[in-house]
Amino acid sequence: MQKRKLGNSGLEVSALGLGCMGMSFGYGSVGDKKEMIRVIRAAVEQGVTFFDTAEVYGPFINEELVGEALTPFKRDAGVRLVIATKFGFKPTVAGETRWGGLDSRPQHIKAVAEASLKRLNIESIDLLYQHRVDPEVPIEEVAGAVKDLIQEGKVKHFGLSEAGAETIRKAHAVQPVTALQSEYSLWTREPEKVIIPTLEELGIGLVPFSPLGKGFLTGQMNENTTFEGNDFRKILPRFTPEALKANQALINLLNKIASAREATPAQIALAWLLAQKSWIVPIPGTTKLSRLAENNGAVNIGLTKEELYEIDTALAQIEVVGARYPEHIARMTGR
């Protein structure tokens, strides 16, 4: 596994991380705990050193899962793991699994960090993100609270998720931002307009979540695909039968490149992201050992300039159908 540094921070991680959310939350039925631990530990064995979780995933159980799975490696001097987690939401009622509004008050941030440390069974959080920008709390206060945690040794690096350029600049002026986590993929390219140039200017890394389009870019979906239980893709405009059918043009493109390279569509989608900037570190998620190995194989593909040009030229002729989020969720992004 190749290594990359997130911007100018010096934080070195594997070129691909592992997004752990889907093991406990968001995509229908929860994975078998023992099997999910196997997947996480297999990731370490394959060279992955960057793991992404959050208190809201579950809630709480995903942090506990990641903490338990990685415990055997924490004392291995030859393995430098980087665990990222997030703050910023509040439960509606104590003990419930539903979550309420945003809460990035400094006192709440510090309480969440303490709880996350215990669940993850670590002494310091490597990368602590604000999960979503809270319009009720000035970002300078948020950055100041994380700065305090860094000075106390409880956190090492500060991150933001789905933040707009102005927010990034304001936060960075108080406490240097190591990484921005936002959705970025072949069918979500909005960050290229303003966000990526801002990150490049400030020396901040980009951690794309959903780099495989929440599963769509694997090429395994069509208009007949259904989603079970509480799979949140049920409410996403891009996952209606009509949108899935219309967006197959993207899959046709990926299949063409993948066939020529004896690769899979998912590997080409990840290789394309890796080729954009040297400080971009995607975090594909999976619950399957086979998919883990497939995804990690993307680091060895190395798309040529000609292939990248072919992809970009083709993408310019493809209009992605369907919004990324419904309006009530979209309002929480890009602030």
Nearest partner of 282 among 261, 299, 301, judged by Cα: 299
Q: How far is CA 136 from the centre of its chain?
A: 24
Crossing angle between the packed helical segments 61-70 and 33-45, to the nearest 10 degrees: 50
Q: What does the alpha-carbon distance between residue 127 and residue 101 come to, in Å, rounded to a whole number?
A: 23
Residue of 27, 57, 129, 184 with catalytic role: 57
With CA atoms as reference, report the closest residue to 179 among 36, 268, 283. 283
What span, in angstroms and rounded, lies between the C-alpha atoms of 178 and 6? 6
HEC string of the chain? Answer: CCEEECCCCCCEEECCCEECHHHCCCCCCCCCHHHHHHHHHHHHHCCCCEEECCCCCCCCHHHHHHHHHHHHHCCCCCCCCEEEEEECEEECCCCCCCEEEECCCHHHHHHHHHHHHHHHCCCCEEEEEECCCCCCCCHHHHHHHHHHHHHCCCEEEEEEECCCHHHHHHHHHHCCEEEEEEECECCECHHHCCHHHHHHHHCCEEEEECCCHHHHHHCCCCCCCCCCCCCHHHHCHHHCHHHHHHCHHHHHHHHHHHHHHCCCHHHHHHHHHHHHCCCECCCCECCCHHHHHHHHHHHHCCCCHHHHHHHHHHHCCCCCCCCCCCHHHHCCCCC
Is residue 57 among the annotated active site residues? Answer: yes
Active site amino acids: 57
